[in-house]
Amino acid sequence: MEFPSGMSQTSIAHLPDDCLYIIFQWLEKRVDRESFGLTCHRWLHIQNQSRRSLHFECSFNQLNISSLSQSNIDIKSFHLHRLLNRFQQLQSLSLSGCIELTDSGLTQLLFYGAKLKSLNLDCCFGITDCGLSIIASGCPSLMLISLYRCNISDIGLETLARSCSALKEVNLSSCSLITDRGVAALSQKCLQLLAIRISNCRNVNGVGFQGCPETLAYLEAESCKIEREGIMGIVSGGGLEYLNLSSLSWSVSGASFAAIGAGFATKLKILDLRLCRTIIDESVMAIAKECPLLQQWNLALCHEVRISGWQSIGSNCNNLEKLHVNRCRNLCDRGLQALRDGCQKLSVLYMSRCRLITCTAIELFKCFRAGVEIKEDEVMDIAPKWAFR
pLDDT in tens, 187-207: 999 999 999 999 999 999 999
Give Cα 130 to chain centroid, integer Å. Answer: 25
pLDDT band at 64 (very low <50, low <70, confident <90, very high): very low
Written as one letter, the residue type at 284 is V
The arithmetic mean of pLDDT across residues 37-66, rounded, is 55
- Burial of residue 42, with CB atoms counted within 10 A of its CB: 0-12 exposed, 13-18 middle, 19 or more buried: exposed
CA–CA separation, 245 and 313 (whole Å): 19
- What amino acid occupies position 335? G
pLDDT at residue number 69: 40
With 0-12 / 13-18 / 19 or more C-beta atoms within 10 angstroms meaning exposed / middle / buried, residue 243 is buried
Predicted confidence at residue 65, as pLDDT, reads 43
Question: What pLDDT is stored for residue 13 in this prediction?
Answer: 62
Contact call for residues 378 and 350 (beta carbons, < 8 A): yes
Q: Which of 142, 134, 140, 147 shows the shortest CA–CA distance to 167?
A: 142
Could you give the CA distance from residue 327 to residue 249 in angstroms, rounded to a whole number? 19
Name, in order, each residue with C-beta under 8 angstroms of 63's C-beta and a sequence gap of 6 or more. 122, 123, 148
**Nearest-angstrom CA–CA distance, 376 and 128:** 43
Q: What confidence category does residue 268 fall into, taking pLDDT thresholds of 50, 70 and 90? A: very high
Distance, in Å, from the CA atom of 321 to the CA atom of 282, rounded to the nearest integer, reads: 22
- Position 359 pLDDT exceeds 80: yes
Domains in the chain, ordered, with CATH? 13-50 (1.20.1280)
pLDDT digits 0-9 by tens, 218-245 = 999 999 999 899 999 999 999 999 999 9
CA dist 279 and 302 (Å) reads 7
Lowest mean pLDDT among 79-83, 96-100, 213-217: 79-83
Whole-number Å distance between alpha carbons of 186 and 167? 9
Low-confidence winner among 136-150, 162-176, 273-287, 368-382 (lowest mean pLDDT) = 368-382
The pLDDT value given to residue 84? 81
Distance CA 369, CA 73 (A): 54
Q: What is the mean pLDDT of the chain?
A: 86
Angle at 122 between CA 79 and CA 273, to 5 degrees: 170
Of 20-24, 247-251, 328-332, the one with minimum mean pLDDT is: 20-24
Record the pTM.
0.85
Q: Give the three-state DSSP class for 161.
A: helix
Helix boundaries (H) for the chain: 17-25, 30-37, 41-50, 65-68, 77-86, 109-112, 129-138, 154-163, 180-189, 228-235, 281-290, 307-316, 333-341, 359-368
- Indicate left, alpha or beta for 174 from its phi (over 0: left) and psi (-120 to 50: alpha): left
Which residues have CB under 8 Å from 343's CB, separation 6+?
313, 314, 317, 318, 320, 323
pLDDT class for 22, splitting at 50, 70, 90? Answer: low
Contact, 222 vs 198, CB < 8 A? Answer: no
**Mean pLDDT (whole number) for 110-116:** 93
Amino acid at 174: S
Residue 54: pLDDT band (50, 70, 90) is confident
Which letter does DSSP use for residue 102 in this model?
Answer: B
The size of the chain, in residues, is 389
Comparing C-alpha atoms, which of 242, 288, 291, 235 is closest to residue 264? Answer: 235
Confidence band for 99, pLDDT divided at 50, 70 and 90: confident
Amino acid in the structure at residue 145: I
How far is 256 from 329, CA to CA, in rounded Å?
Answer: 21
Distance CA 123, CA 121 (A): 6
> In which region does residue 211 sit, left (phi positive, over 0), alpha (psi from -120 to 50) or beta (all else)?
left
